[in-house]
Amino acid sequence: MSNENSTSEKAGSILEVREYKSLLSWLSSVDHKQIGIMYITTSLLFLLVGVALAMVMRTQLIKPNHHWLSPETYNQVFTMHGTTMVFLAVMPMLTGFMVYFTPLMIGARDVSFPRMNALAYWLYLMGGILIYFSFLTGDTLHAGWSAYAPLTSVNYSMNKYLVGTGVDYWIIGLLLTGAGTIMTAINILVTVVDLRPPDMKLTRIPLFVWMSSINAVLMVLALPALNAALVMLFMDRHLNALFFNTSAGGNPLLWEHSFWFFGHPEVYILILPGFGIISEVIPVFSRKPIFGYAFMTAATVAIGFLSFGVWAHHMFATGMNFTVYYVFALSTVLIAVPTGIKIFNWIATMWGGSISFDTAMLFCIAFIIQFTIGGLSGVVFATVPVDWELTHSYFVVAHFHYTLLGGTIFTVMAGFYYWYPKITGRMLFEGLGKIQFWLMVIGFNGTFFILHFAGLAGMPRRVYTYPDLPHLATINLISSCFAYVLGLGFLLFFINLVISLFKGKPANDNPWGGWTLEWATSSPPPAHNFDRIPPIRSIRPLWDLEQSQKQSGAAALPSHGGENV
Amino acid sequence: MLLFVASEAVFFLVLIIAYVAYHTTSSGAADAYRYLDVPRTAVFTICLISSSFTMWLADIRFRTGRRRPALVWLLVTIALGAIFLAGQGSEYASLISNNVTISRDLFGTTFFTLTGFHGLHVFIGLVMLATLFGLELKRGVTCPSGAVESVSIYWHFVDAVWMIIFPVVYLWVLR
């Protein structure tokens, strides 16, 4: 399935596209492809920072009673690691893929509101800069990404000499990125509803588009809860309101409920587009249609619906009455069902297919295994007494890194290896990619699998160091060493992205033999996306085209597409 | 616009829940609601609700292309919305003169946050209505299709939120 030759005259590298050469064209762009690339590039820079912060944390934890970082610094580092990864790296990266590929996959010229699209991107960038600006105040947020009250109140500022304004930058930055996210979500939904060609029925849109749409619904309904919580916090800090002030009868649990009402759908916001990427990559590299298209869609809707009914499982330790425990424990178990359906569908898609183990596919396979482990350790928390025992321990850290790093980041990697040729017109280096894949698999599992045991041994998370108790030193040493392997994997990925842009093999229009519409145009796509859209009679329009051309005895196609439609 | 309104609805839902939670659980700490002048606010509430009705009348006339009566109804809508906002301003002034502020107790905190954000939305709605009015007034300028519909959806939403806030905040008195 390699690309033998670059046949299309139109296909060059993205570096040669005339419209993209001036800086002004990027700054003033309302084109969904340029904005998508800007989203992805910015989020990659934040990802690099987030990975660097993680390396700092693992270095601090490499041995017991380690005093390399002060507790204050460590608190700020893990808080910014979480905030960066969730709000500034992973979410916008997925948003970038959504913005870039949703119009292409449904055969549209652009999103419905191109200018709002640009505004959303700039809000995200400025919000990200504001959040990082908080470092300059010397007192950035130090309460974890979930920022539990009252640790965010004015009284808890750590810097004695400055009134801690870092938290305010954090609040405003998140409000800006949140507003941008809601705009993009509305944009995606309206695009999918409004701009489909007549033949592109809802039962024919690619699964990535389906999952992006459900994701957009979650964004529209979940982020305002965070915004409301942030606004209340801001009122508390600046107008002396009393929302989270316990001495005046306020209740910090209000923050927790509002935050997690956003926070749990957010978890699915971070994974659903990843599911979408996987659902595109696996069929193409297995040369089989996706198994259970309708069930995949229905399962996504079910996940979206249930994700609003599980938030209190983050707060079991706060004490609730038993009815609440039962309801949230049940819904937590229940949400594993649609997720399980997806896992089985992906496996069934691969079953009996002629699988080619390119890097993109390798990441998909590792994703399925790692995400299943992460899912299983998540269901464990539905058992309330177990949750009491393990919450705020490293077991939780291991669990959510299995879903977000071993899950989402691996899907994103698959997405990069799959779509990089389409975006840039160059292939990523496969050899380098496979080395990166193995480094990441070994590094990731080595780092995080063993942390389950650290949690079971009672090691609490969010503490800058730990006493020299039995096993803890060994576990953390192993974990830190593997973390460096993982970091090396990330580094290779960034190197690959950059050198492939200049030295990568030129890609033809459809290097992987994909079926969805984005492969029907040139690589990189022209400003107007499509010269002509092929007829859409199923979820695999390009496959239909290939078949009909074969049957009609037309001139044989160049291997795996490359046809000018 | 409907999606945006859905998003905004969740925002207000959280603020209303905050009000209700503190209103029911810590009544001792939140009893300043006794200072509210319910009949006065009821009058302004009627203004706001009728502004939704006049917006509807304007919307129908825009749709059937009767521009002049549509503009009149739009102006009435703006006026009613402005009266409501002015009423809220004077209410705030009298509350603050009675020393009911955002930092007095939990009622003050939740009341001013909730109604303040609603007032902000009314203000933004008025700006949108005024923009619409200004654009339609100028001959030769036509608003983008759907602009009237979008603004009117937003305005009805602002009203609907108040129809929840008014009974919850003003009529629900604990002993």
pLDDT digits (tens, 9 = 90+) for A429-466: 999 999 999 999 999 999 999 999 999 998 999 999 99
For residue B32, the distance in angstroms to the closest alpha carbon of chain A comes to 14
Instruction: Give the model's confidence band at A7: pLDDT under 50 very low, under 70 low, under 90 confident, else very high.
Output: very low
Which residues of A are less than 8 Å from B12 in CB distance?
228
Instruction: Give the model's confidence band at A158: pLDDT under 50 very low, under 70 low, under 90 confident, else very high.
Output: low
A123: pLDDT strictly greater than 70: yes
Note the pLDDT tens digit of each residue in A317-375.
888 888 989 999 999 999 999 999 999 999 999 999 999 999 999 999 999 999 999 99
Q: Cβ of A242 and B8 within 8 Å? A: no
Tell me, yes or no, if B114 comes closer than 8 A to chain A by beta carbon: no
Hey, what are A48's tokens? 């690099």
Find residue A460's DSSP bridge partners. Answer: A393
Q: In degrees rounded to 5, what are phi and psi of residue A393?
A: -115, 175
Reported ipTM: the value is 0.91
Identify the residue whose tokens are 């830190």: A480
Note the pLDDT tens digit of each residue in A193-237.
999 998 899 999 999 999 999 999 999 999 999 999 999 999 988
Q: Cβ of B10 and A224 within 8 Å? A: yes
> How far is CA A75 from each of CA A395, A451, B154, rounded to the nearest angstrom?
19, 19, 42
Which residues of A are less than 8 Å from B11 in CB distance?
224-225, 227-228
Hey, what are A23's tokens? 């800086």
> How far is CA A293 from each of CA A83, A300, A348, rounded to the nearest angstrom?
34, 11, 12
Q: Which residues contact A410 (CB under 8 A, 6 or more apart)?
A: A363, A364, A366, A367, A370, A371, A440
Q: Which residues contact A540 (CB under 8 A, 6 or more apart)?
A: A289, A515, A516
Say what the pLDDT of residue A74 is. Answer: 93
Tell me, yes or no, if B15 comes closer than 8 A to chain A by beta carbon: yes
| Separation CA B172–CA A209 (nearest Å) | 46
Q: At what angle do helices A293-306 and A272-286 cross, to 10 degrees?
A: 170
Q: Cβ of A221 and B112 within 8 Å? A: no
Topology at the third CATH level for domain B2-171: Four Helix Bundle (Hemerythrin (Met), subunit A) (1.20.120)
Which residues of B are less than 8 Å from A224 in CB distance?
7-11, 14
For residue A193, the distance in angstroms to the closest alpha carbon of chain B comes to 12
Q: Which residues contact A105 (CB under 8 A, 6 or more apart)?
A: A205, A206, A208, A209, A516, A517, A518
A168: pLDDT strictly greater than 50: yes
Question: Hey, what's the torsion of the CAs at A313, A316, A320, A321, to 10 degrees?
Answer: 70
| Separation CA A211–CA B56 (nearest Å) | 36
Average pLDDT over residues A525-529: 90
Tell me, yes or no, if B65 comes closer than 8 A to chain A by beta carbon: no
Q: What is the mean pLDDT of chain A?
A: 90
When CB atoms are compared, the residue of A189, A225, A240 closest to B10 is A225
Instruction: Give the model's confidence band at A564: pLDDT under 50 very low, under 70 low, under 90 confident, else very high.
Output: very low
Residue A260's closest chain B neighbor by CA? B14
Q: Which amino acid is at A118?
A: A
Hey, what are A68's tokens? 């390399």
Average pLDDT over residues A535-546: 87
When CB atoms are compared, the residue of B14, B28, B103 closest to A258 is B14
Say what the pLDDT of residue A5 is. Answer: 39
Sign of CA dihedral A137, A142, A144, A148: negative
For residue B69, the distance in angstroms to the closest alpha carbon of chain A comes to 31
Say what the pLDDT of residue A553 is. Answer: 60
Residue A223's closest chain B neighbor by CA? B7
Hey, what are A408's tokens? 């989402």
Note the pLDDT tens digit of each residue in A237-288.
888 888 988 888 888 899 999 999 999 999 999 999 999 999 999 999 999 9
Listed by start position, the domains of chain B span 2-171
Q: Which residue has the higher pLDDT, A400 or A563?
A: A400
Intervals of chain B under pLDDT 70: 26-32, 139-145, 174-175
| Separation CA A329–CA A323 (nearest Å) | 10
Tell me, yes or no, if B145 comes closer than 8 A to chain A by beta carbon: no
Residues A373/A355, Cβ–Cβ less than 8 Å: no
C-beta contacts of A237-242 below 8 A and 24+ residues apart: A237/A152, A237/A153, A237/A154, A237/A167, A237/A168, A237/A171, A238/A168, A239/B102, A239/B103, A240/B102, A240/B103, A241/B102, A241/B103, A241/B108, A241/B109, A241/B112, A241/B113, A242/B103, A242/B105, A242/B106, A242/B108, A242/B109
Spell out the CATH class of A19-551.
Answer: mainly alpha
Tell me, yes or no, if B172 comes closer than 8 A to chain A by beta carbon: no
Say what the pLDDT of residue B30 is. Answer: 57
A163: pLDDT strictly greater than 60: no
Q: In degrees rounded to 5, what are phi and psi of residue A499?
A: -70, -30
Q: Which residues contact B140 (CB under 8 A, 6 or more apart)?
A: none
Q: Cβ of B22 and A225 within 8 Å? A: no
Instruction: Give the model's confidence band at A565: pLDDT under 50 very low, under 70 low, under 90 confident, else very high.
Output: very low
Q: Cβ of A228 and B26 within 8 Å? A: no
